[in-house]
Amino acid sequence: MTDRDPTLAQVGEFTVIDRIVAGRAQPPSVVLGPGDDAAIVLAGDGRTVVSTDMLVQDRHFRLDWSTPYDIGRKAIAQNAADAEAMGATPTAFVVAFGAPKETPASAAVAMSDGMWAEVAKFGAGIVGGDLVSAPLWVVSVTVLGDLGGREPVRRDTARPGDIVAVIGELGRSAAGYALWLKGICEPAELRRRHLVPEPPYGQGAAAARAGASSMTDVSDGLAADLGHIAAASGVRIDLSRQALRADHDALAPVAAGTGDDAWDWVLGGGEDHALVATFAGAPPPGWRTIGRVLDGAAGVDLDGEPWRGSAGWQSF
Amino acid sequence: MTDRDPTLAQVGEFTVIDRIVAGRAQPPSVVLGPGDDAAIVLAGDGRTVVSTDMLVQDRHFRLDWSTPYDIGRKAIAQNAADAEAMGATPTAFVVAFGAPKETPASAAVAMSDGMWAEVAKFGAGIVGGDLVSAPLWVVSVTVLGDLGGREPVRRDTARPGDIVAVIGELGRSAAGYALWLKGICEPAELRRRHLVPEPPYGQGAAAARAGASSMTDVSDGLAADLGHIAAASGVRIDLSRQALRADHDALAPVAAGTGDDAWDWVLGGGEDHALVATFAGAPPPGWRTIGRVLDGAAGVDLDGEPWRGSAGWQSF
């Protein structure tokens, strides 16, 4: 640690927070930003969408793979995707950050920079937070969102006869993870995708406007997350291998190099935060139809057969 | 670990969440509770108050002192106090919980029971959360609050000539901490106070209605937290030793037993989450006048002399 790289303990909580907060431009929906006991945000249509996710070092990210900036982007992206998955627009975030006292204060500022870079993509603000001492990095983010007067798009309202459609990347994060684990440097873009997802911002609201009957984001894996919709809605979902072939084929050469099955990545890989939804009519432009909703016991099939691959992300 | 006490890993994330969520009655302001990608809460007056705090094992609580139920109560109480300190009523919470996979699932349920017991005091709900694996307990809570059409009570709006008043306990948590550290069993009530604060719920809104010019909750210590008001408002705050004597005298016998100075607890002890505010007129019933706001360099005095005791809680 050089003199130029003082630690959180040396700089102190309040000075670090001052540095993190300095010069950030809050959007018009923020009535009161950081610096008081709480922030105040306009609730567009009189309702607030709220969701929270916690990222733990060595469980959800590694400090030898991700920069603090990457971690900040990922933490915002995965929370924003939860608001998107309701059909909402993410508007404001609060961030609780635990880290060892030896952590360079510049790392906390860099993480905040990454968070602000990510929220800039959809015009939200980071309105408050907490900074505490912890034996390892823990980043807990809460997103607030605005439904813009629309009904929320839930998980328990898919109907037999609907089509299933997706927008955003599938299997990229899982493929990138395999590359990192095996020390394979290319494709570098896939390695990046594992560190920083690229959710299809704005498409949650687009799906809601198009009448999506149910929606979720792909955080645990396509089959696992559709399994949640199937269970909540009491329907069977049948995915089409043919419709997903382009996703498979894009990853097949990489899978050949790592010794994996690209189908496992496409159907079982999470953390890309694609949006998957069901529609009685046509999905919005850019969405790919990948299956259909059927009557039957709750579950997910691939071409009529139960999917026997990865059960998706396990928290424990 | 007996068969009757299965772990988080044995039970699994989704089943534990089902148990935590089962049978909870959400208040009418909750449009959509747990179980989807996000929850939806009514924003009473079109604005949402939001604040977040992270509690880390062995930093903010000890598992050999606090039960999971206690930790749940404390985590809610300290976040609720942040909403109260704006003059708002806490309405909804989301909770991110990290714990080792060997943690009994019953402990997570007990923590949730404590959280629900605490929110029942003011009619709020716990509307969502996240459950992840971590090497130690980390509890990150976000509170949403409703200003009921009132202006928020900020920290930067105290005015010379105002009186300073407080409601709630001072120094009790610090006294209890000393008892725990030194293995002194009585007064048991003070030991309890260290584990579970008793914020004066409803008094934040009462202060706002009474025209409080500034307010905060005592989380770091009375002098430290008033120092934040003094710095933000550009005022000097003079506390009266005589006005605080009852708080001191209540703790003096305990301090004699632990070898501490009760003034350090009253002026420097945090975590009781009393509310302290400034008023141009009379404070609401039950508030104790303890000082006044003066022109002068930002800072906090006791009877005209700078307070030289504890600087309050240090995060690092």
Question: What ipTM describes this predicted complex?
Answer: 0.95
**What percent of chain A shows pLDDT beyond 70?**
98
**What mean pLDDT comes out for the span A300-315?**
82
Query: What is the rounded CA–CA span in Å between residue A172 and residue B41?
Result: 34
Evaluated on CA atoms A261, A266, A269, A272, the torsion sign reads: positive
- Rounded to an integer, the average pLDDT of A131-159 is 97
- Are the C-beta atoms of residues A274 and A218 closer than 8 Å to each other? yes
Phi/psi for A60 (5° steps) reads -110, -15
Domains, in order of start, for chain B: 8-146 (3.30.1330.10), 163-306 (3.90.650.10)
Residue the block writes with tokens 């240090």: B314
Min Cα separation A108/chain B (Å) = 14
* Inter-chain CB proximity B101 and A48 less than 8 Å: no
- Residue of B53, B59, B130 with shortest CB distance to A52: B130
Residue A308 is predicted with a pLDDT of 78
Cβ–Cβ under 8 Å, residues A168 and A200: yes
Using CB atoms, which residue from B49, B127, B314 is nearest to A38? B49
List, in sequence order, the alpha helices (H) in A23-154: 68-84, 105-119
In whole angstroms, what is the distance from residue B197 CA to residue B65 CA?
A: 14
Q: Which residue of B has its CA nearest to A156?
A: B36
Cis status, amide bond into A187, omega within 30 of 0: yes
The conformation of residue A55, written as its DSSP 8-state character, comes to E
- How far apart (Å, rounded) are the C-alpha atoms in residues B111 and B26? 17
Please answer whether residues A24 and A119 qualify as being in contact, where contact means their C-beta atoms are separated by less than 8 angstroms: no
Look at residues B159, B288, B272, B139 and name the one whose alpha carbon lies nearest to residue B212.
Answer: B159
A298 touches chain B (CB under 8 A): no
Pick from B62, B54, B136: nearest CA to B94: B54
Q: A135 and chain B: CB distance < 8 Å anywhere?
A: yes
Whether B155 has its CB under 8 Å from any CB of chain A: the answer is yes
Please indicate if the annotation marks A82 as binding a ligand. yes
pLDDT at A181 exceeding the cut of 60: yes
Taking a C-beta distance cutoff of 8 angstroms, is the pair A287, A195 a contact? no
A314/B48 CB distance under 8 A: no
* pLDDT given at position B194: 97
Rounded to whole angstroms, what are the CA distances from B124 to A30, B32, B80, B143?
23, 14, 10, 10
> Residue B300's beta-bridge partner residues?
B237
Please give the structure tokens belonging to residue A304: 């009529």
Q: Is the peptide bond before B187 cis (omega within 30 degrees of 0)?
A: yes
* Residue ranges in chain B modelled with pLDDT below 70: 1-4, 310-312
Best residue of B20, B31, B45, B50 to probe chain A, by most A CBs closer than 10 Å: B50
Burial of A77 (0-12, 13-18, 19+ CB in 10 A): buried
A154 touches chain B (CB under 8 A): yes
Cα–Cα distance measured from residue B140 to residue B75, given in angstroms and rounded to the nearest whole number: 8
What CA–CA distance (Å, rounded) separates B245 from B262?
A: 10
Contact residues, B window 170-209, toward A, CB-based 8 Å cutoff? none
Q: Are the CB atoms for B42 and B32 separated by under 8 Å?
A: no
Q: What is the pLDDT of residues A90-113, one digit of tens each?
A: 999 999 999 999 999 999 999 999
Rounded to 5°, angle at Cα A114 from A51 and A59 = 60
Q: Which two tokens stand for residue B275?
A: 């509310």
Confidence of residue A1 (pLDDT cuts 50, 70, 90): very low
Q: What is the pLDDT of residue A307?
A: 81
User: B228-266 burial, b if ≥16 CB within 10 A, otherwise e?
Assistant: bbbebbebbbbbbeebbeebbebbbebbeebebbbbbbb
Q: Would you say B51 is a known binding-site residue?
A: yes
In this complex, the residue of A13, A37, A49 whose CB is nearest that of residue B40 is A49
pLDDT tens profile B114-134: 999 999 999 999 999 999 999
Contact B50 A60 (CB under 8 A): no
Q: In B, residues 1-60, which contact A (CB 8 Å cutoff)?
A: 7-9, 12-13, 31-32, 35-43, 46-56, 59-60
List pLDDT tens digits, range A72-95: 999 999 999 999 999 999 999 999
CB contact under 8 A, A56 and B94: no
Pair A53, A140: CB distance under 8 Å: yes
Chain A CB contacts of B46 under 8 Å are 42-43, 46
Predicted confidence at residue B14, as pLDDT, reads 87
Task: Please name the residue that has the structure tokens 């690229």.
Answer: A198
Q: What DSSP character marks residue B28? A: T
Question: Cα-flanking dihedrals φ and ψ of residue A271, to 5°?
Answer: 75, 0
A 232-251 near B (Cβ less than 8 A): 232
CB B176 within 8 A of CB B195: yes
**Chain B residue with Cα closest to A55:** B132
Pick from B9, B50, B54: CB nearest A39? B50
Cα–Cα distance, B133 to A316 (Å, whole number): 6
Q: Would the CB atoms of B43 and A38 count as touching at under 8 Å?
A: no
> Minimal Cα–Cα distance from A284 to chain B, Å?
21
Burial of B191-224, coded b for 16+ CB within 10 Å and e otherwise, reads bebbbbbbbbbebbbbbbebebbbbbbbbbbbbb
